[in-house]
Chains A and B, each alone.
Chain A
Amino acid sequence: MVLCGPSGCGKTTLLRHLKRELTPVGTGSGTVCYRGLPLGEWSPEIAAAEIGMVFQNPEAQIVMDTVWHELAFSMENLGYPLSVMRSRLAEIAGLFGLEPLLYKPVHELSGGQKQLLNLASVLVLQPKVLLLDEPTSQLDPIAAREFIQMLRRLNEEMSVTVIISEHRLEEVLPLADRVLMLEDGKLKAEGTPREIAVKLGGGAASPSDLAYFPAATRVYLGLTAEAALEGAGPIPLTVREGKQWLQREWRTDREGEGARPSAEHHSAAKEAGGSQRSSIPSDRPSEESVLAEEILKAREITFRYEKEGPEVLKKLSLSLFRGELLAILGGNGAGKSTLLHLLNGLAKPQRGRIDLAKGSSTGYLAQNPLLYFSQDTARAELRQMAEYGGLSATEAQEEIDGLLDIFELGELLERHPHDLSGGQQQKLALGMVLLLRPDILLLDEPTKGLDPAAKEKLASLLLHLRELGKSIIVVTHDVEFAASYATRCALLFDGGITAEGPPETFFSANYFYTTAVNRMVRDWLPQALTVEEVTRQWPAFASRS
């Protein structure tokens, strides 16, 4: 079962109500029943063991210092005898492949491994119901996929009931039996993924609701007329289904011609895609603006953290042009964050140099916005920053007011920074960085943990900043984000930039490292990366061919 809905719609609260130990303090009504009995009437041992919960933040859930101890912790709590603990630990360690990590200290694990460990340490109690509160929001896509696959195995092979709340539904939704969509604490829609898609796709849905669906479904909904929705074949949920559907669609459109697209058609498709692109006004800047002035240039920088340590960056060269949004993609530990550190001058490369255009400066937003806060209210944070930035009182007030308008933080000024939601914290931190008036913004994983609506807002914010003449480098795992909003993309691998180019060429050259939409339609529209592009281009393409 999948729970979805925007941030703050009550997903977490609902999940917490299902777990007795964590039921929030407050006034409540109604009952939650587990196997026919109200949750409160089960013995504490059963309540703890049979309903397991995994939270959002992989780091904060871990209690002990080594992996084996963490796994044993929950069993120790329930007072299991040693022989039972031994066999269960062995079993779970085997299932999760944790054996090589068993004696490692927890802080040496990657985020994905930590979250798997959290899941494993809940599973040693052999729960019948698993509650997961946005478990993959802090993970990179590959770790997230691994985690979801593990859940699927548990669900299919052990028939564990899984209730998961999630923003990133591309992977989860096709596996779900039932989807609940919440809004403002109320149930908005319920049903199988396909039913929900029909219900919400049938015209009434706002674009923000649609953003929860996998790419295939969105393309389908975008291309199919509302009237045809009912009674049409099953709605595609995965890339494979989407592709099959498109193939059928394409064939019926081109009756009489060959069933398989030949090489000719391929080139025709490319042409179609290309010409289509140029005729449609695009939100991407055209080639000329990309060739503007170089504002930041890194030349053959080499960096290692310790004298004896491995080289994190190897002779990396990179340049940033004024007014562009450069997205740097790469796997975990490829050195993306390190690169931003270097560009911001927080660390010095051992070799090579970084040149900034005259009179320009950089501002850096780290992954964790909490690192930025040191005052008691959001207002005090901004004031302090403005003061440090050397603004006079009136200037500061103007700047702050301007920022509040853009960031929609007006009502939150008197709140403690830690009481804001993740997205708001990030906006506040970004606002603080902007008070230093940097010309270049360096953002480290700004989309981590954001729901689709917040992501879109962030994107329009970045667009706005670019209009103000700022140049932006975004380091991200989020392929879809980079494809939709970047002007240029670069792939960081093995300490260097291995591929670079505007999104269309960059992603269409990739086989795996590209958007789900592109993987679905690449046989016909190799340059289409987003749902919008496909919806625009497909009808013209289909009718032409």
Chain B
Amino acid sequence: MSSGFRSMHPTVAIVYYAGLVLFAALLFHPVYLMTELIGVLGLLLLQGQGKTLLRGLPFYLLMAGSVAVLNPFFSHRGSNILFYFMDQPVTLEAILYGLMMMLVLLTILIVFVSYNYTVTTDKFMYLFSSVAPKSALLTLMSLRFVPLFQRRLRQITEIQRTRGIDTSKGSVRKRMKDGMTLLKVLLTWSLEEALQTADSMKARGYGVSKRSSYANYKMDRQDIFVLVMLVVSGLIPLLGWLQGYGTMQIYPRLKPLEYTWQEAVVYASFCLFVLIPSGLEGKEKWIWRSSQRTGYPSAIPMKPGTRFMSSRSR
């Protein structure tokens, strides 16, 4: 199923996710990070990926949480010493830094959950093949081989068991030897087939002239519009970052956050960047919900007051 942000051109998606990862790494600021985290979570929920997220969440929290807990015990930088633990100073800065690291990690992990859902292998290969067509073809072909080999190995194991070549019985030595035999069978068979594949490729003119690449994707006007929006709203925080906005200094000494109007502009632009896909997704949801509403004048006269025109649709 693809709709909303997922149905957009792969370039748009890749720009968005690249931006998210970049900002998560660069903008070391709790407000920005929280905004990004909440934005991506919102997007995932809108895309109906709550379940996938929930399945992975314990693992992500454990990973990120352990960073937050461990950092103060290993880093002793900072000037505000809170207490001593086993004769080691535990500083406020180190705790805050650990919490920030946790946020960064969590954000990046969740960005990747969303990325996996939005940018499928197909889309990635499409983007990849416009950069490096030959390597992309090779990658695609090898990708096909992974499940193919698995299926074949299963067949081979089954049959070879009837002639005593079995990796689940016998001494370790015998098992290893049998394992190698099974792999050998797989390899000989597959190489044999690869020859035929090569013939088939040659017969269909592979390497005859420069390859073009077929694409299922077309840039439409909405794609271009969203892309421009993303680039512009992404450039502003980036330039701001170069000027020193959007970061928070913790080491060597915690500095209080400052609020200026420039900071506000950078933050607003950042918010726009993060929320554009959620906006698209939300708009689509809303259109479905209110599909009774006619968006354009219809030739069919609509009489007011019939029972089909319920109060909700008006």
Contact = CB atoms under 8 A, between A and B. Distances in A.
Interface of A: 19, 21-22, 44-45, 48-49, 52-53, 55, 57, 59-66, 68-69, 72-82, 85-86, 89, 106-107, 118, 121-122, 125, 344, 346, 363-364, 366, 368, 370-374, 384-385, 388, 418, 432-433, 436
A433 B164 CA distance: 12
Contact of B211 (A79, A118, A364, A384): A79
Contacts, number: 139
23 contacts: A22-B202, A45-B208, A48-B204, A61-B196, A61-B197, A61-B200, A64-B144, A65-B141, A68-B214, A74-B205, A75-B214, A76-B211, A77-B206, A77-B207, A77-B211, A85-B214, A107-B148, A346-B158, A364-B162, A371-B156, A373-B185, A388-B163, A418-B188
A385 B214 contact: no
B71 interface: no
Q: Which interface residue of A65, A69, A368 has the most chain B CB atoms within 10 A?
A: A65
A21 B162 contact: no
Contacts of A436: 162-163
A388 B182 CA distance: 16
Contacts of B151: 107
Interface string B211-229: 1111110000000000000
A288 B106 CA distance: 78
B181 interface: yes
Contacts of A371: 155-156, 159-160, 185, 189
B26 interface: no
Interface in B143-190: 143-144, 147-148, 151, 155-156, 158-165, 181-182, 184-185, 188-189
Question: What are the nearest 8 A-B pairs in CB distance?
Answer: A48-B205, A72-B214, A60-B196, A74-B204, A388-B164, A61-B200, A65-B144, A371-B159
A60 B193 contact: yes
A62 B155 CA distance: 20
A75 B196 CA distance: 19
Nearest to A74: B204
Given A49-B205, A74-B205, A374 B160 contact: yes
Nearest to A131: B203
B31 interface: no
B210 interface: yes
Interface of B, secondary structure class, is: helix
Given A45-B209, A48-B208, A372 B163 contact: yes
Contact of B140 (A21, A64, A385): A64
A77 B205 contact: yes
A371 B201 CA distance: 25
Contact of B181 (A19, A363, A374): A374
Interface residues of B, number: 47
Interface of A, secondary structure class, is: helix
Contact of A82 (B159, B196, B199, B214): B214
A66 B211 CA distance: 18
Contact of A45 (B144, B155, B205, B216): B205
B197 A60 contact: yes
Nearest to A371: B159
A68 B194 CA distance: 21
B192 A418 contact: yes
Given A45-B209, A48-B204, 5 more contacts: A52-B204, A63-B200, A72-B214, A366-B159, A371-B155
B257 to A, nearest CB: 49
Contacts of A79: 209-212
A76 B199 contact: no
Nearest to B193: A60
B205 A64 contact: no
B196 A68 contact: no
A121 B204 contact: yes
A385 B163 contact: yes
A85 B151 CA distance: 32
A64 B182 CA distance: 26
Contacts of B156: 371
A131 to B, nearest CB: 9
Interface in B233-276: none
A125 B203 contact: no
A191 B182 CA distance: 49
Contacts of B164: 388
A106 B185 contact: no
Contact of B201 (A63, A89, A118, A364): A63
B165 A76 contact: no
A368 B152 CA distance: 11
B212 A21 contact: no
B204 A77 contact: yes
Contacts of B210: 79
B143 A65 contact: yes
A81 B212 contact: yes
A202 to B, nearest CB: 39
Given A69-B140, A79-B211, A82-B212, A63 B197 contact: yes
Contacts of B216: 68
B91 to A, nearest CB: 54
Given A72-B214, A77-B211, A384-B163, A52 B193 contact: no
